[in-house]
Amino acid sequence: MKQPALANTYSVYDFLFIGLGAANSLLILSLYKNGLLDGKTIAIIEPRSKLTDDKTFCFWSTKEELFSLNLEELVSCSWQQIEITGIAKQNIQPLSYYQVKGADLSNKTKEILSLSEVTYFRSTLDNTTSTGSDYIEVTTGGSVFRCHKVYDSRPPTFSKLQKNESRLYQSFYGWKIKTDKQVFDTSSMVLMDFKIPQNGYTQFIYVLPFESDTALVELTRFGKEKLTKEEAHTILRDYVQELDTTFEKLEDEVGVIPMHSGKIEVADFGDNWINMGARANLLKCSTGYAFHSMTEDAVLQTKALKSNQKPAREARNGRFSFYGRLLLKILSNTPLQGKKVFEMLFKKVPLINVLRFLREKTTLSEEVFIFSKLPKKLFITAALKDIYHQINRLPIITLPLIFTPIAILLSFLQFEFIAWGILAPGFLSVGLAHGALDHLTSQNIITSKQLICFVLSYLLKGALFGLVWWFSSDVALALFILYSAWHFGQADFKEWNLKQGWQSFLWGVILLTVILFFHAEELSDILKQIPNLAALNLVHEIPHNALLFIQVLSVSSGLILARLNKSTYLLITLIYLLMASQLSLLMAFGIYFVLQHSINGWNHLSVGLKKESSVMWKNAFPFTIGGAGIIFYFLLFEDENYIGLFFSILSCLSLPHVFSMHHFYQFTSSK
């Protein structure tokens, strides 16, 4: 055995293993069996002196998988029957339930490492700097060195929980005992025995019988609080006493596995820095199972290294992540339901199907069957909440992108009124209402007198713009289009964290041009209802080639702007606006105005004003009712030429809103 050496500054190693837990140990075993450690220099950062010796790893697999994963020599025990207490024992062939002792894995890893040139660092990683295309520079315990390939198995950092996510602990405490009587059935292991007090959690006993008088008896808890030694000893002692035998405790097994449905936060140091184990999201959040997936991943990493390619890890199937979130949410919010869920699952679904489901090997139809046997109300409620929160987390731009083809289909089927039935409440709830909060955006309104002055000033600005319409409809229309473009572009660029200025104004011009000139005939009809408008002739008599040029120019400019800003949001907006050209002008504008502009504006106000939506709606209500009243008046009582007058009044009310939001955006950006 080669003795660990001290590192010299800027020593260069072929491999750096950060942590010698199960993931990296399995990888070292796989690399060795494929001859990839021969002649290589290895560095290991591992502050712990005791590694996996006190752990037990279990998994289910076929014999063929066992050999393909290089695990056959590590298996200490196996069972082909599994018992869920209160349910008949079930044979799981062609699967077997295997046990690997942590001590055996650790000793085998040490044996392999003793054959190579290895430098150990009994410290933690201090710093990482990528300083070359084929090596990474790291600092640990004052030593600085370089390595070509890093395998990092440190515990992960989890992101902040979202509303539909949960964090629990799977904590366990077990005894390996030897009894005076032969009380254990070695032909089967006990996966879950719920005949113990639940104590406000989901907890069960797990039994691995090695001999008829020797077994691991372990208490496992799914809960927000970890098991304490005192709690575990009481329950374990009572459980073993039920066996009607005296016993000797040979070993303790203690552990905690995070059950977290949120995202893992890890830094990206390039292709040569590879996260392993839980850090690579190989831990199944709802069960804590990871050993089999870590073994499969070790084989994957080995094949990639052998072929000098980047390992292509498959992303976890989205529906299994969904199932995991549901179960964790149920275990978190209603922990006493956990026992009922698991008992129903194992009673009504063949165990081998459950095991395949837990390994994410089932088909969708099989999963539907499994969930049909579980408490339906419990899972449906959790599912609806999860779906709501998932949709709520999508970018706002997803709404118009999805709604536009739906509106096209409804229009084709002559059910356009359904689309209007969706947009109308949106217009009233956030469209009008986000403009009815302008009095809150002013930093100078404290008293009622100041509020009255603000309202009078607001109306005066609108009235002055009304005079512009009186003297020149063409000038007023041009100004209305310009400041609307400025406002829409400013709001979109604010939402997408893009730099505001001439590009945001250009974007506003582009999107208004796309909406208006892809509906040129309808635009002409609307302009006809505005009195004394000379620009009407320009639009009405525009040649086809000129119209086509405007359309191509606007779309091309939008694509260039999207490329310059590297923004998929700009591109998506263009896509759905082009699709909306198959709809009416008012519907196309309504989709953009309600589902993108107004919702974004409402969210900006909520964040900037630090107010909940319920409070904002209450503040906006009097002004929203006034605006809605004006709209309904024109719809119900004015003649067919009301659109021109309504258009003019709308522009007069929009002008002070645009200025209010501009000042609001400037104020919030400077904070």
Q: Where are the alpha helices (DSSP H) in 364-431?
A: 364-372, 376-393, 398-412, 416-426
Lowest mean pLDDT among 57-71, 146-160, 164-178, 424-438: 424-438
Secondary structure element (H or E) that encloses residue 394, with its range: none
Residues 212 and 293 in one domain: no
Here the contacts of 418-426 (C-beta below 8 Å, separation 24 or greater) are: 419/587, 420/587, 423/587, 423/590, 423/591, 423/594, 423/595, 426/594, 426/595, 426/598, 426/599
Q: What is the mean pLDDT of residues 644-652?
A: 76
State the burial class of residue 20 (Cβ atoms within 10 Å of its Cβ: 0-12, 13-18, 19+): buried
Quickly count helices (H) and strands (E) in the chain.
25, 19
- Mean pLDDT estimate for the chain: 85
Examine residue 212 and state whether it is found in any structural domain, yes or no. yes
CATH number, domain containing residue 298: 3.50.50.60
Residue 50: per-residue pLDDT: 58
Residues 149 and 198 in one domain: no
Query: pLDDT by residue (tens digit) across 43-95?
Result: 998 887 655 456 888 889 888 888 888 888 899 999 999 998 878 789 998 99
Whole-number Å distance between alpha carbons of 386 and 392? 10
Residues 453 and 556 in one domain: yes
Question: What DSSP character marks residue 278?
Answer: G
Prior bond to 94 cis, omega within 30? yes
Q: Are 116 and 376 in contact (CB under 8 A)?
A: no
Q: What is the mean pLDDT of residues 305-309?
A: 86
Whether the predicted pLDDT of 620 surpasses 80: no
Examine residue 143 and state whether it is found in any structural domain, yes or no. yes
Whole-number Å distance between alpha carbons of 141 and 122? 8
CATH number, domain containing residue 235: 3.30.9.10
b/e burial code for range 81-115 (CB count within 10 A of at least 16 → b): bbbbbeeeebebeebbbbbbbbebbbebbeebbee
Q: Are 496 and 573 in contact (CB under 8 A)?
A: no
Residues 253 and 292 in one domain: no
Measure the N-to-C terminal CA separation of the chain; round to a whole number of Å: 62
Residues 341 and 471 in one domain: no
The residue segments making up the domain with residue 332 are: 318-393
The DSSP-derived string for 580-623 is: GGGS-HHHHHHHHIIIIIIHHHHHHHHHHHT--HHHHHHHHHHH
Here the contacts of 156-160 (C-beta below 8 Å, separation 24 or greater) are: 156/264, 156/265, 156/266, 156/275, 156/278, 156/279, 156/281, 157/264, 157/265, 157/266, 158/258, 158/260, 158/262, 158/263, 158/264, 158/265, 159/262, 159/263, 159/264, 159/265, 160/262
Strand partners, 274: 151
State the burial class of residue 443 (Cβ atoms within 10 Å of its Cβ: 0-12, 13-18, 19+): exposed
Q: What is the mean pLDDT of residues 619-640?
A: 68
Count other C-beta atoms under 10 Å from residue 67's C-beta: 11
Residues 364 and 458 in one domain: no
Q: Which of 667, 668, 671, 654 is nearest to 488 (CA)?
A: 654
Residues 105 and 146 in one domain: yes
Whether the predicted pLDDT of 404 surpasses 90: yes
Residue 4: per-residue pLDDT: 42
Residues 499 and 596 in one domain: yes
CB neighbours of 516 closer than 8 A, spacing ≥ 6?
523, 585
Q: Which residue has tokens 């809103």?
A: 657
Phi, psi of 63 (to 5 degrees): -65, -40
Whether the predicted pLDDT of 625 surpasses 70: yes
Query: pLDDT by residue (tens digit) across 190-245?
Result: 999 999 999 999 999 999 999 999 999 999 999 999 999 999 999 999 999 998 88
Residue 580: per-residue pLDDT: 94
Residue 131: per-residue pLDDT: 63
Examine residue 75 and state whether it is found in any structural domain, yes or no. no
Residues 538 and 596 in one domain: yes
Q: Sheet holding 247-260: strands in order across?
A: 90-91, 81-84, 188-193, 202-211, 214-223, 167-179, 247-260
Q: What is the mean pLDDT of residues 311-325?
A: 79
Residues 171 and 137 in one domain: no
Lowest mean pLDDT among 281-285, 379-383, 579-583: 281-285
Whole-number Å distance between alpha carbons of 449 and 233? 70
Residue 460: per-residue pLDDT: 87
Whole-number Å distance between alpha carbons of 106 and 21? 8
Q: Which residue has tokens 């590879």?
A: 274
State how many domains the chain has: 4
Query: pLDDT by residue (tens digit) across 276-300?
Result: 988 888 888 777 788 888 998 999 9
Residue 135: per-residue pLDDT: 81
Whether the predicted pLDDT of 474 surpasses 80: yes
User: Are β-strands 96-101 and 75-79 bridged in parallel, bridged antiparallel, or unpaired?
Assistant: antiparallel
Residue 77: per-residue pLDDT: 92
Whole-number Å distance between alpha carbons of 554 and 571? 13
Say what percent of the chain tops pLDDT 70: 92
Whole-number Å distance between alpha carbons of 582 and 407? 10
Residue 6: per-residue pLDDT: 44
Q: Which residue has tokens 């979130």?
A: 325
Query: pLDDT by residue (tens digit) across 124-137?
Result: 887 777 666 678 88
Whether the predicted pLDDT of 1 surpasses 50: no
Examine residue 232 and state whether it is found in any structural domain, yes or no. yes
- pLDDT category of residue 631 using cuts at 50, 70 and 90: low
Instruction: Give the tokens for residue 321.
Output: 């992540």
Residue 133: per-residue pLDDT: 66
Instruction: Give the tokens for residue 461.
Output: 């600005």
- pLDDT category of residue 2 using cuts at 50, 70 and 90: very low
Q: Are 176 and 253 in contact (CB under 8 A)?
A: yes
Using CA of residue 292, residue 293, residue 299, residue 302, what is the dihedral sign? negative
Query: pLDDT by residue (tens digit) across 514-556?
Result: 999 999 888 888 888 887 777 766 666 788 888 899 999 999 9
Secondary structure element (H or E) that encloses residue 485, with its range: helix 473-495
Residues 279 and 341 in one domain: no
Q: Are 602 and 614 in contact (CB under 8 A)?
A: no
Examine residue 57 and state whether it is found in any structural domain, yes or no. no
Examine residue 415 and state whether it is found in any structural domain, yes or no. no
Helices 398-412 & 568-579 angle (0-180, nearest 10): 10
In 196-290, the DSSP E strands lie at 202-211, 214-223, 247-260, 264-265, 273-275
Residues 503 and 466 in one domain: yes
Examine residue 59 and state whether it is found in any structural domain, yes or no. no
- What global pTM score does this model have? 0.69
From 252, 274, 306, give the residue that closes a domain.
306
Examine residue 469 and state whether it is found in any structural domain, yes or no. yes
Instruction: Give the tokens for residue 613.
Output: 């939506």
Residue 49: per-residue pLDDT: 65
